[in-house]
Structures are given as structure tokens and as C-alpha cells.
Amino acid sequence: MTAPAQPEARPPNPVKEIVQPFIDLVHAPRGLWGVNLAYAIEGLSYFGVLTYLVIYFSDFVFKGVPHADSWSEGMVGVLTGGISLSMVFLGFVPDKWGVRRALILSFVLLLVGRVVMSSAPTLLGLAPSGLWSPLHLITLVGIFFILVGYGIYQPAAYAAVRVFTTPKTAAMGYAMLYALMNLGSSAAMGAFLLRDDKFLGLGITGTFWVYTALTVVSLLVTVFVLSKRTVEETAARAKAECAALMDADPDREKKEKQAEQAAIAKAKAAVGTPRVPLTAWVSLAGIVAAVMWRVPPPWSYEIAGALLAVVVVIALLPAKVREPVLREVAAHPLADWRFFFLIFALLPVQTLFTYNWLVLPPYISRAYSGWIGEYYEVASNINPIFIFLLVPIITALTYKVRIYNIIVWGTVVMGSSAFVLALGPSLVTLAVYLLLMTVGEAMWSARFLQYATEIAPEGRAGQYQGVAQLPWFLTKFLVPILYAGKAMERYCPAEGPKDTQTMWFIFGLIAMVTPALLLVKGWLGGDFKTRAA
């Protein structure tokens, strides 16, 4: 007997995907309004400051300092990479304090940090700038407060969506957060109206004050729109709706818990004899090599010695303690050598993301004449709005394509975009670069997160999702520290002859390492190719 044919899955509707977050926002409870409105404003403030930060350090803080671009991009790396790191240590705050208090605290810290950064040039007046000057140190103090604030803020915002939604509305809540953040950050393209002398003429430091004022607005929205009563009522409504779902299926929670426990037991059993996988040793060796290369003695020896001491301590632990530790290490997603390969194969193409704030603003302002170079904020901040519009469209067009294949082709498109700028600076090459890069990102970035979930063993999808963020986290540190600043100094200096074609050709070669590595998928084995087909 032939089984009845299953109806073919309908492709996503791109127009609906774009419009739906705003429809949902209109009908969203007041609690979600408070989170999303503040999140959109904060997206503008954060990316607005980030657009100017390399130029601010180069032209103000490190003016006249040798290798100013390298130092400037290193400082931006401290901010962007430090935010990711701080979330690891401060993500517990909303769980312990509650989302409203955590959000208020985070905005207070962000406000303090931006006040310190914005006021430093004015307070110090004619005091000399330079490396480790008062201006540099005070700016670092401001960055520290921003790091701590963001370490609390982003986990708190996502935790709030979790508290205010049900299993039925959670996807809507996160989609709203993503959509409005992208729209808010894209508004930074109009910052030239604040900075340029032909308009308000506030300059970079004056524009920083505007974003500081917007932080006050975000704080006030959180305090008054996301009031204590609103939080309690919205959370209670979501809890009641969850209870109603549970009443409809009283065994649901029990089944989910049993399935989770069975999956964990199955994953542990699959690990077998506890042992440190080869990939762990490779990772440790890579970290030690990077430290020894970039950090001058004696600090490099001390850091490498500390890493080696960790291994020795684990080896000397009693067997009853050591075996569970090694079992957890062996069960880590990076112990899956296929996933390990995929994660690190994506690093080269991920470098293009960091150029949006590390390279594009100073590159456009230095290499382009006319309105393009004068109003460099427009091109530097257009990517989020493109992503917002293109992701649902490209998803609808490619939903039938195998996930792994779309990741490969997406990285090809994105990586090849840099070669367009290697033809030389012009309006056409810049426009094509931005379009190709955004199309490539829209093709593979979201699908990669889906792929990370699909290839994860049962019961470990969340862990794989977390590790999937590793390339993004590493590029925030590695790109500014290793080469971006040096490339700008050599090929696109603030003064003197420029050779931006060579710089972007090198950037393109780096990015294209990713699809070159991914195309060896046959060597990885059929399981890697087909598990998330």
C-alpha cells in the first residue's frame, strides 16, 4: 500500500517575513515594547559610536603616535571582543536580579561609560594626547564601563524576551528584537548630519554626546515603559499562557525532561572511554603558539606556562575527579573533529564582518573624494538594512538548497566581494562590494546556525549553538590585533600615497580560504555532508 504523498513545504514569504515583526510589535504586550524600543535605540547608539571609534583613536587619541592605526584598531578590538567575553561572566545577572533591574543597571553603566568617553576630550582640553596619555587612559575607563554594561545588557534583553513570551510567541519575540536592532543600527548612516560642518557641525566628539543622550532615552524608556508593574503583569500573562499549554498536555513537561535526560545519557555513553581528544591538543597548541608569537617575553612565557599548568593539574587529579572532567572535555562540540573543522574554516570569511567598523570608515574617508568620502557614515552603516531586507528574500529563494551547499556558495559570494574593491575605489566598486558582501552573508550566516543545530547530537543542540559563535568572537580579537591596523598603515595611511587595491586583494585572499577549505568536504566524510541536508 502506497503511503499518501506529503504536501510539499511552502517556501517562506519574504514580504511577510519583513513586515511581520512590525505587525507583531503593534500587538505585542507592553513589556516587549519596552525591551524592543530600548534595544533599537541602543543599536543606533552602539553602532553609531563604533563607526567613529577607529577614526577617533587615530585622529585624536593617538595623533602623531607611530603605528596609530594598529593601536586604534587594537582598542576597538578590546571593546568588541571584550563585550563578547564579558557576557560569558555577567550573563547570570538578569537571572539573579531580574530582567528589569538588570536592564536598568546595564543602561546606567553604559551611560557612565559614554559620558566618560564623550567628556574626556573636553575636560582635558589642550593636554597632550598619545599612547597611555590621560586621554587614552580615561577613554579606556569609559570602555571598561561599556564592557560591563553590555555584559549585562544583551543577556538581560534576551532573557526578558524569554520571560515575556510563551513557546508559541517566542520566535516572534526574538524576530522583533533582531529586526528592530538592525533598523536602529542602520540609522547611524545619517550621523554625518550631526558631524559635518555643513550641517550641525558637532564633529566626532560632539556626535558622541548625541549617542550619550540617546542612552539616557533608552534608560528612561526602560524605567517608565518597562515599569515594575508592567514586568509583573506581562510575565504573569506569559506564565498563565504556558500553564494553559501544559494543561492541554499535562505530560508534556515530564516527556520533555525524560527526553532530555535520555539524550544526555546517550551522549555521555557515546563518548566512551574518557580521553582528551586530538582537537583539544591542537587548540591548546594553537593558543600557545599565538601567545608566544604576539606577546613579548616574559609575559608570553608566563601565559604559556599557565596553560601548560592547567593540563598538568588535570593529569594529576584523582581518577574519580579526572575521569568526569575528561569525559566533559571529550563530549565538547569541538571534540567533534568535523564541527571543529567547520568552526575554524569559517574564521577567514568572518573577517569581512569586522571590516565594517575597523576598516570601512577610515578607508572610505581616506580613499574616496567627494560626497562618498565626506559622508562615509552612509556606506559604513548600510549593511544592517540590507541584511534586514535580503535575509527573508534569499531564504525564500534558497530554502530547497542543501544547507551545507548554501554555506559554501554563500562564503564564495561574500569572500569574492573584497576583490571588487581591489579594482580601485569608486562609487560602483563600493556599491557592488556592499551588495555582494550582504548577499553572501544573507545566504550563509543564518543557515550556518541552523546547520550547527542539525549536526548536533540529540540533546546537545544548545551547546553546539553556543560554540558556533566562536568564529565571530575570535575575529573580533584576531583581526585588529594581527593585521587590520598594519594593513591600513601600509596601504591606506591617513597621509601619503595609497595602494588600497593591494590591501583589498589581500583581504579577498584571506576570505576565500573559507570556501577553499569547505570544498574539501569529500575528505570529511559523508556524515558531515548529509546530516543536515
Q: In this predicted model, what pLDDT tens digit does every residue of 243-256 receive, in sequence order? A: 776 666 666 556 65
The CA-CA-CA angle for residues 93, 94, 100, to 5°, reads 130
Fold equal for 11-248 and 337-533:
yes
| Residue where the block lists cell 603605528 | 67
CATH level 2 (architecture), domain 11-248: Up-down Bundle (1.20)
Q: How many CB atoms lie within 10 A of CB 244?
A: 10
Q: Which of 455, 444, 414, 451 is nearest to 432 (CA)?
A: 414
Residues 6+ apart with CB under 8 A from 176: 21, 24, 25, 28, 32, 36
Residues 6+ apart with CB under 8 A from 309: none
504-516: burial string, b at 16+ Cβ within 10 Å, e else? bbebbebbbbbbe
| Grid cell of 28 as nine digits | 505585542
CATH 1.20.1250.20 matches 337-533: yes
How far is Cα 72 from Cα 420, in angstroms, rounded to an integer?
26
Q: Supply φ then ψ for residue 348, to 5 degrees.
A: -60, -45
The reported pLDDT for the residue numbered 276 is 44
- Percent of the chain past pLDDT 90, that is, above it, reads 40
| Grid cell of 521 as nine digits | 568536504
How far is Cα 336 from Cα 267, in angstroms, rounded to an integer?
12
| Residue where the block lists cell 551547499 | 405
The reported pLDDT for the residue numbered 57 is 94
- Residues of the chain below pLDDT 70: 1-12, 17-18, 21-22, 24-25, 125-128, 171, 245-315, 317-332, 453, 457-463, 465-466, 521-533
Instruction: For helices 383-398 and 427-454, give the axis angle rounded to 10 degrees.
Output: 50
- What is the Cα 308 distance to its own chain's centre? 30
| Grid cell of 427 as nine digits | 562609487
| Grid cell of 167 as nine digits | 513557546
How far is Cα 290 from Cα 304, in angstroms, rounded to an integer?
10
120 close to 138: Cβ distance less than 8 angstroms: yes
The reported pLDDT for the residue numbered 25 is 64
Q: How many CB atoms lie within 10 A of CB 357?
A: 23
**pTM for this prediction:** 0.78
| Residue where the block lists cell 586530538 | 278
Q: pLDDT tens digits for 1-47?
A: 444 444 445 666 777 766 776 676 677 788 888 999 999 999 999 99
The reported pLDDT for the residue numbered 514 is 93
The DSSP-derived string for 130-191 is STT-HHHHHHHHHHHHHHHHHHHHHHHHHHHHHHH--TTTHHHHHHHHHHHHHHHHHGGGGT
Residue ranges per structural domain of the chain = 11-248, 266-335, 337-533
- Give the number of C-alpha atoms closer than 13 A to the C-alpha of residue 168, restricted to the C-beta side: 9
Q: Which of 86, 149, 67 is nearest to 113 (CA)?
A: 149
